[in-house]
């Protein structure tokens, strides 16, 4: 028993703190990168969707009430998506 407790304290308190802090940092970095990746994918998807709806709406030469509703809805969700940008913690 004494050998086990002695072995666990072979590192200084500073080294133990660095080793404990390193592990969560890696997982936090991965989660942060994943959030940013999902947000960028969503951003490009919304831009594509709004562009597609705009082209489809103007293709026949006039805008109907349904076309305007679809464009307004897509633009509203796009702005909401912009506000969901993950914060970067350095």
What would the pLDDT profile of 16-37 be if each residue is shown by its tens digit? 666 665 666 788 889 999 999 9
In a domain, 14, yes or no: no
Provide the domain count of the chain: 1
* pTM score over 0.75: no
In a domain, 7, yes or no: no
In a domain, 4, yes or no: no
Q: Which two tokens stand for residue 20?
A: 């404990």
Question: What is the extent of the structural domain holding 52?
Answer: 27-90
In a domain, 64, yes or no: yes
* Other C-beta atoms lying within 10 Å of the C-beta of residue 67: 17
- Summarised one tens digit per residue, pLDDT across range 32-84 is 999 999 999 999 999 999 999 999 999 988 889 999 999 999 999 999 999 99
Report the alpha-carbon distance of residue 89 to residue 41 in Å, rounded: 20
Q: How far is CA 36 from the centre of its chain?
A: 3
In this prediction, residue 20 carries a pLDDT of 64
Report the alpha-carbon distance of residue 25 to residue 11 in Å, rounded: 20
Instruction: Give me the residue label for tokens 């998506």.
Output: 81
In a domain, 45, yes or no: yes
In a domain, 75, yes or no: yes
């Amino acid at each position: 028993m004494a050998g086990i407790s002695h072995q666990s304290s072979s590192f200084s308190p500073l080294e133990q703190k660095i080793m404990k802090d390193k592990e969560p940092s890696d997982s936090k970095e991965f989660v942060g990168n994943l959030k940013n990746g999902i947000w960028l994918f969503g951003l490009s998807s919304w831009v594509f969707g709004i562009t597609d709806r705009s082209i489809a709406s103007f293709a026949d030469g006039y805008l109907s009430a349904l076309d305007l509703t679809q464009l307004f809805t897509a633009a509203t969700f796009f702005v909401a998506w912009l506000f969901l940008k993950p914060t970067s913690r350095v």
